[in-house]
Amino acid sequence: MNRSYLLVRAIRGPLLLIALGVLLLLQRFTDFGFHRSWPILIILFGVLKLAERAVLHVGPPSGPGQPPPAGGSWT
């Protein structure tokens, strides 16, 4: 696993908690209710999962004199 993948996994939970807190604050201090804004959490979770998958399949760059990585399957 590469560092980018681990970074995305490490920040997923805190980002979702921050987003939840912001949505609850908006409900308390504005007319923007949580019952209308909770899909934002699902969208954020999906974006983070896509980022996790994207960085998982990006291999390390090949330098000069190094052969390209073999395979390349999406399993």
With a cut of 90, say whether residue 62 has pLDDT above it: no
- Grouping H, G, I as helix, E, B as strand and the rest as coil, residue 44 is helix
Residue 51 or residue 60, greater confidence: 51
pLDDT tens digits for range 2-57? 888 888 889 999 999 999 999 999 999 999 889 889 999 999 999 999 998 888 87
Q: What one-character DSSP code corresponds to residue 38?
A: T
Judge whether 53 and 12 are in contact, CB under 8 Å: no
**What's the CA gap between 3 and 5, in Å, rounded?**
5
Q: Can you give the pLDDT at residue 74?
A: 61
Q: Can you give the pLDDT at residue 63?
A: 55
